Amino acid sequence: MKKVLISSFDMEVGGVERSLLSMLNNFDYQQFDIDLFLYSQSGDFLNLLPEETKLADEVKAYKTVRQSIKDIFVAKMWSIGIARIFAKIKIILSNVKEADYLQTQYIWKYCLPFFPKYLTEYDVAISYLWPHHFVAHKVNAKTKIAWIHTDFSAIAIDPKLDLHIWQQFDYIVSISEDCTNAFIKTYPCLEDKLVMIENITAPKFINEMSKENLSKAVFCKGEFNLLSVGRLCHPKAFDKAIKVLNLIHQQGYRNIKWYIIGYGPDEKTLIELIEKHNLQSSFILLGKINNPYPYMNACDLYVQPSRYEGKAVTVSEAKILGKPILVTNYPTAPSQIDHLIDGVICENSIDNIAKAIISLYKNPDQRTKLSKYCQGQDYQNNNELNKLYRIMNLQTSEKN
């Protein structure tokens, strides 16, 4: 039996965390002994981890990558606090807009020397969430595998900062062909390391969870209910969605409502924008809901208005539940939606999103057609794990 370490930040409600949970619930525990190392042992998905997965002890230093500098100094982690100040200065001097990803790079670069090494040795170490510094430099393993969950053509990073990190890995797993192509354009020298493994889906689990009662009273009769699930942040484009709904109402379709499940840093900005357009009763932030599937199952149309995605887990889940789906034409959208077959892809502008929603609202036959197609598909893809098993077994055998 091979000893495997999987690392990620936490198990809060999110797409990456749901895909990790699905993978862990479908893992072959007869072949692999799994330790899960979370930088922060927090999140509502912690209770859903399979009992075969052993949760490794939390190390406080790694939790600091998402803590404020003030909290780090209060905890008397002086070296890490000073390193974070250097990272902040670099971001200020860079003068880059939407610098979240670049800031994360600098945080790991300057803090890494002060993070402890992980003493247990493993046959395989998997870094499931970018950035991958921990597994690259702090873990001793015969095989190292890193995961890509995002579209590297759409994020602001300094590729040079991460190149030597990626080079520490034997394999780099991409979740879609479009993600692979975007990554290769950024790092052409790493093409030989790429392996595509789609997010593992859990149709039985999702269908069972969708049967639970809604925890909040929504979706009134006589209204056309849109639903989106995602973190309240710039890539998900909920700010744009508010403007879309405002335009839809201006055109007379006031019975269309839009519900958002999720939480995140843009909540205050979104609330202000909702109030600006007087949409308090029509664009509704439901906040964090551990089980979004009853809402997804009950909505009239699932909408993914994102600016960019790797491969949206929520879109796959909506397909499993047989919902009509509308996504914007972000670069990786065609890898997940076959236009007019299992969903609709519209141009990513306020006018075009509004037109597409109104068109689907006025055309119930098209919505039914999209739903029936999805309902007739088998979305179970456990066989994707065989690709992972293959590289885990192959590489460790070669190195022994």
Is a pLDDT exceeding 60 seen at residue 227?
yes
The per-residue pLDDT for 282 is 97
SS3 (DSSP) at 129: coil
The per-residue pLDDT for 23 is 96
CA dihedral 268, 273, 278, 279 (to 10 degrees): -80
Domains 2-59+116-200+381-399 and 204-375 share a fold: yes
262-313, pLDDT tens digit by residue? 999 999 999 999 999 999 999 999 999 989 999 999 999 999 999 999 899 9
Judging by beta carbons within 10 Å of its beta carbon (0-12, 13-18, 19+), is residue 61 exposed, middle or buried? Answer: middle
The strands making up 301-304's β-sheet, listed across from edge to edge, are 283-287, 256-261, 224-229, 301-304, 325-328, 344-346
Q: Determine the Cα–Cα distance for residues 270 and 124; give it in Å rounded to an integer.
A: 42
Any alpha helices (H) in 194-234, and if so which ranges? 203-209
2-59+116-200+381-399, CATH topology level: Rossmann fold (3.40.50)
Residue 340 CB: number of other CB atoms within 10 A? Answer: 12
Is a pLDDT exceeding 60 seen at residue 397?
no
What band does 97 get if pLDDT is binned at 50, 70 and 90?
confident
The per-residue pLDDT for 400 is 52
Q: Determine the Cα–Cα distance for residues 326 and 383; give it in Å rounded to an integer.
A: 28
Q: Determine the Cα–Cα distance for residues 230 and 16; give it in Å rounded to an integer.
A: 11
- Asked if 110 and 57 count as a contact pair (C-beta separation under 8 A), the reply is no
Is a pLDDT exceeding 90 seen at residue 95?
no
Pairing between β-strand 224-229 and β-strand 256-261 as defined by DSSP bridges? parallel
Enumerate the domain spans of the chain: 2-59+116-200+381-399, 204-375
Of residues 123, 114, 183, the one with CA closest to residue 152: 183
The per-residue pLDDT for 215 is 79
What band does 14 get if pLDDT is binned at 50, 70 and 90?
confident
- Asked if 12 and 44 count as a contact pair (C-beta separation under 8 A), the reply is yes
**What number is the average pLDDT over the span 334-348?**
96
- Asked if 323 and 342 count as a contact pair (C-beta separation under 8 A), the reply is no
What band does 52 get if pLDDT is binned at 50, 70 and 90?
very high
SS3 (DSSP) at 146: strand
153-211, pLDDT tens digit by residue? 888 899 999 999 999 999 999 999 999 999 999 999 999 999 999 999 889 989 999 99
Average pLDDT score over the chain:
95
- Cα angle value 149/154/158 (rounded, 5°): 90
Estimate the crossing angle of helix 159-166 against helix 100-111, to 10 degrees. Answer: 50
- Ramachandran bin of 76, using left for φ above 0, alpha for ψ from -120 to 50, beta for the remaining angles: left
What band does 221 get if pLDDT is binned at 50, 70 and 90?
confident
Share of the chain above pLDDT 70, in %: 98
Q: How far, in whole angstroms, is CA 277 from its chain's centroid?
A: 29
- Ramachandran bin of 237, using left for φ above 0, alpha for ψ from -120 to 50, beta for the remaining angles: left
Strand partners, 139: 118
204-375, CATH topology level: Rossmann fold (3.40.50)
Is a pLDDT exceeding 60 seen at residue 320?
yes
Of residues 287, 277, 273, the one with CA closest to residue 254: 277
Locus of tokens 């995602």: 230
- What are the tokens at 252? 């007379």
The per-residue pLDDT for 56 is 97
